[in-house]
């Protein structure tokens, strides 16, 4: 393949802005890279946690461990629940070590104690915050993104809580951030979609996520 007479090299994968993109448009390679980094951090934590108090260990989790998960998560997070569960297992082991002796057994109880979200919850949270900031509110990206995110016909305004038009994609396309965020946005309660303040939206989205958890710790 050539572009303007220049031969274009064909590769199996390519790293762009720290994200591995494969020629199959799947994110297995990116997830493997993320998981490897998390396993190394988990090993480091196991070796060094004896020397730190609880507050410092939580800073480690938030500053190093979760930052690796969060980077471009709405893009590559469609790898599937069976993959994301692996990152949650590592996080669970770390939290069990931090809160050892407090009688917290299940993963959701540990998340509540640490005020954290599971990987799938983080993807949901970050994706919808992105849409709210750049499609509902104003930003330098708003003009372009609003051409992609169209509201359903017959509705007057996105700010009033209008649903997005869900694209008619193939099975592969339904793994995209565009498709998933349209579906996720449309599933939100009307009062959340009617928000016009970033902080209020942030708090309401977290509330929606917490309410979805079916465990004893959350009432």
Can you give the pLDDT at residue 103?
78
Which of 7-16, 35-44, 109-118 shows the lowest per-residue confidence on average (mean pLDDT)?
Answer: 7-16
122-171 pLDDT, tens digit per residue, is: 999 999 999 999 999 999 999 999 999 988 765 455 444 578 988 888 88
Q: How far apart are CA 123 and CA 125, in angstroms?
A: 5
Pairing of strands 6-7, 19-22: unpaired
**Taking each helix axis from N to C terminus, what angle separates 119-131 and 81-98, rounded to the nearest 10 degrees?**
110
| 8 A C-beta contact, residue 120 and residue 102 | no
Can you give the pLDDT at residue 218?
45
Q: How far apart are CA 114 and CA 123, in angstroms?
A: 18
Helix (H, G, I), strand (E, B) or coil at 25: coil
157-197 pLDDT, tens digit per residue, is: 544 457 898 888 888 788 889 999 999 999 999 889 988 89
Q: Does the pLDDT at position 63 exceed 90?
A: yes
Can you give the pLDDT at residue 213?
76
């Amino acid at each position: 393949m050539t572009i303007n007479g220049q031969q274009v090299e064909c590769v199996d994968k390519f790293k762009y802005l720290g994200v591995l993109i494969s020629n199959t448009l799947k994110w297995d390679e990116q997830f493997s890279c993320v998981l490897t980094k998390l396993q190394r951090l988990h090993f480091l934590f196991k070796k060094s946690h004896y020397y730190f108090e609880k507050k410092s260990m939580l800073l480690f989790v938030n500053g190093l461990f979760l930052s690796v998960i969060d980077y471009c998560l709405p893009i590559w997070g469609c790898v599937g629940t069976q993959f994301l569960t692996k990152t949650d297992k590592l996080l669970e082991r770390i939290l069990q070590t931090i809160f050892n002796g407090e009688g917290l057994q299940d993963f959701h109880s540990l998340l509540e104690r640490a005020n954290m979200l599971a990987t799938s919850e983080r993807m949901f949270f970050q994706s919808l915050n992105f849409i709210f900031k750049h499609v509902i509110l104003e930003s330098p990206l708003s003009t372009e993104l609003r051409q992609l995110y169209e509201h359903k016909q017959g509705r007057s305004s996105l700010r009033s809580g209008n649903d997005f038009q869900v694209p008619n994609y193939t099975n592969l396309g339904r793994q995209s951030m565009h498709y998933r965020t349209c579906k996720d946005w449309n599933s939100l309660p009307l009062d959340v979609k009617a928000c016009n303040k970033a902080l209020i939206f942030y708090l309401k989205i977290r509330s929606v996520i917490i309410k979805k958890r079916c465990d004893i710790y959350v009432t």
